[in-house]
């Protein structure tokens, strides 16, 4: 994997469903992975910054895990709510410059 890849591209779930999506990235020269939440007509907001293999972060109903050896991160949302509808972006840090390389995002739509 040369760049950051996210799957699925879009997801539609019912309110109350739990869901998860994937971010894949090059496992070599790993520095950090950032997750952002981007609501329509707003700006991306930082969710998590993850650095260590096996790292797990949690914010309310949203959590993320990191596997740097195989190059992937999962984002989980437990009991999805309509307000969770957004595009979730992950980005890897390119070297130690702080430059973020973003994936295309996963767009989540939660139906009431």
Partner 1 sequence: DAGVIQSPRHEVTEMGQEVTLRCKPISGHDYLFWYRQTMMRGLELLIYFNNNVPIDDSGMPEDRFSAKMPNASFSTLKIQPSEPRDSAVYFCASSAGQGTTDTQYFGPGTRLTVL
Among 40, 70, 98, 112, binds partner 1 (CB under 8 A): 98
**Size of the residue set binding partner 1 (CB under 8 A):** 23
CB of 99 to partner 1, least distance (A): 6
Q: In the chain, count H helices and then E strands.
A: 0, 11
Binding to partner 1 by CB under 8 A, coded x per residue (else -) over 56-85, reads ------------------------------
For residues 38 and 90, the answer to whether their CB atoms sit within 8 Å is no
Q: Does 40 bind partner 1 (CB under 8 A)?
A: no
Q: How far apart are CA 52 and CA 50, in angstroms?
A: 6
Q: CB 93 → partner 1: shortest distance, Å?
A: 5
Distance CA 12, CA 95 (A): 35
Q: Is 112 in the site for partner 1 (CB under 8 A)?
A: no
Cβ atoms of 35 and 48 within 8 Å: the answer is yes
């Amino acid at each position: 994997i040369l760049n950051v890849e996210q799957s699925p591209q879009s997801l539609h779930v019912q309110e109350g469903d739990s869901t998860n999506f994937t971010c894949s990235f090059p496992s070599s020269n790993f520095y950090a992975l950032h997750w952002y939440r981007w609501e329509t007509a707003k700006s991306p907001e930082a969710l998590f910054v993850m650095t260590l293999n096996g790292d797990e972060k949690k914010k309310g109903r949203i959590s993320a895990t990191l596997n740097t050896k195989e190059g992937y991160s999962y984002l989980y949302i437990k009991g999805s709510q309509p307000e969770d509808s957004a595009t979730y972006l992950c980005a890897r840090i390119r070297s130690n410059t702080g430059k973020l390389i973003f994936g295309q995002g996963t767009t989540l739509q939660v139906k009431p």
